[in-house]
């Protein structure tokens, strides 16, 4: 089967549309990886290019004093009648490109690919990483595969993830922790409730503590991170006439990146110390991921902030910047598109944001 061609020198808006028109749902990125690899090999100069599974990596080795990593995932969530792409012009939204991945994050990929082909003499050495399986469980994430198998490719002075940020820098990211609180009791017929021990009732005080919790706000490098502690799931009960003998509630803690995962769990245990003290309620971590400090004081990152007109804010969600931060590399999110539109059936990006991010990065990478 012939591989479709991709013109990396085309306007990044057109390049975005071409990438969207290549379906690449997670675990099915083979075709788009083939197309990206072929285009990079044919249309860029001075890049070492490596294919690893469905990850495509390219880097220069020009002896520049700094190295910038540009990383973007190739996969999307499942398509819902939103491929191929289409472009509309309305009074409400202006010139907009629609389609699965326009926001998350084929527009960011298009910007990176275009710059790799058109930047004649960048001030930094560049590493481009296009990876698979970001939208599914972390165990399949292509960046994790690269970190394990090709760790040298993740060395750099600053990393830029093309995640959607509406064209302004979102620095670092928050950590996330999920804790399951479980209470047990004794099952009995509800007509003889005194013979049982109702597990659900034991979580009443925990839910009250949760509803009264006052989350912290913390400023790091001029970025305000807002923490949150929320119940996200609850399960209990056997039947309408049975006293339940077990119940659990899942609590998600989104914590600022000045806390480690261990410190985040210690804080959760402190908040619910009274509920846990009697031993009738237990706590178990079911999922955890570290946050990432913004690192904007790093000279390479500071220059990027300048190129973006000084516009930056904290990243509230979790992204793969955390992987780079764990390696000691300052990392930011910067890409076209409103993140609140990611994964939606009506996913769409204003085309002016694609142009804007391209110019911001062109100036930064050129050392302007």
Write out the catalytic residue numbers. 75, 134
For 125, the 3-state DSSP assignment is strand
- How is residue 329 written in tokens? 């590399």
Work out the end-to-end distance of the chain between its first and last CA atoms, rounded to an integer number of angstroms: 43
Residue (of 283, 199, 204, 187) closest to 247 by Cα position: 199
Tell how strand 331-333 and strand 169-171 pair up.
Answer: antiparallel
Whole-angstrom distance, CA of residue 253 vs CA of residue 288: 9
Angle between helical axes of 299-307 and 351-366 (0-180°, round to 10): 140
Return the sign of the alpha-carbon dihedral for residues 179, 234, 134, 256. negative
Cα radius of gyration (the chain)? 24
Both tokens of residue 168? 């302004």
Strands (E), the chain: 47-52, 55-60, 67-73, 86-90, 94-98, 125-131, 158-161, 169-171, 175-184, 188-189, 217-220, 223-226, 228-236, 242-243, 246-255, 281-289, 312-314, 331-333, 348-350
């Amino acid at each position: 089967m012939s591989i479709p061609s991709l013109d990396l020198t085309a306007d990044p808006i057109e390049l975005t549309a071409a990438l969207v028109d290549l379906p690449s749902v997670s675990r099915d990125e083979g075709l788009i990886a083939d197309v990206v690899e072929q285009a990079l090999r044919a249309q860029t100069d001075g890049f070492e290019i490596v294919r690893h599974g469905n990850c495509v990596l390219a880097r220069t080795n020009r002896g520049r004093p700094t190295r910038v990593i540009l990383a973007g995932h190739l996969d999307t969530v499942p398509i819902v009648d939103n491929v191929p792409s289409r472009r509309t012009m309305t009074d409400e939204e202006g010139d907009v490109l629609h389609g699965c991945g326009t926001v998350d994050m084929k527009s960011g990929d298009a910007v990176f690919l275009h710059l790799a082909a058109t930047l004649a003499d960048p001030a930094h050495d560049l590493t481009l990483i296009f990876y698979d399986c970001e939208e599914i469980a972390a165990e399949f994430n292509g960046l994790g595969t690269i970190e394990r198998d090709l760790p040298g490719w993740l060395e750099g002075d600053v990393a830029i993830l093309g995640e959607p940020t509406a064209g302004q820098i979102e620095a670092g990211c928050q950590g996330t922790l999920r804790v399951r609180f479980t209470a047990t009791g004794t099952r009995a017929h509800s007509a003889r409730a005194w013979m049982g021990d109702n597990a659900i009732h034991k979580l009443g005080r925990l839910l009250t503590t949760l509803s009264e919790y006052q989350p912290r706000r913390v400023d790091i490098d001029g970025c305000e991170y807002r923490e949150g502690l929320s119940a996200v799931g609850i399960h209990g009960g056997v039947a309408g006439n049975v006293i339940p003998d077990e119940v659990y509630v899942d609590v998600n803690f989104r914590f600022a990146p000045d806390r480690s995962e261990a410190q985040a769990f210690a804080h959760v245990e402190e908040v619910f110390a009274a509920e846990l003290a009697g031993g009738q309620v237990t706590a178990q971590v079911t999922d955890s991921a570290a946050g990432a400090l913004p690192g904007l004081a790093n000279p390479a990152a500071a220059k990027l902030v300048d190129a973006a007109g000084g516009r930056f804010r904290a990243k509230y969600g979790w992204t793969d910047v955390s992987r780079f931060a764990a390696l000691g590399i300052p990392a930011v999110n910067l890409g076209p598109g409103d993140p609140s539109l990611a994964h939606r059936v009506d996913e769409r990006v204003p085309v002016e944001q694609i142009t804007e991010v391209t110019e911001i990065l062109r100036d930064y990478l050129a050392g302007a």
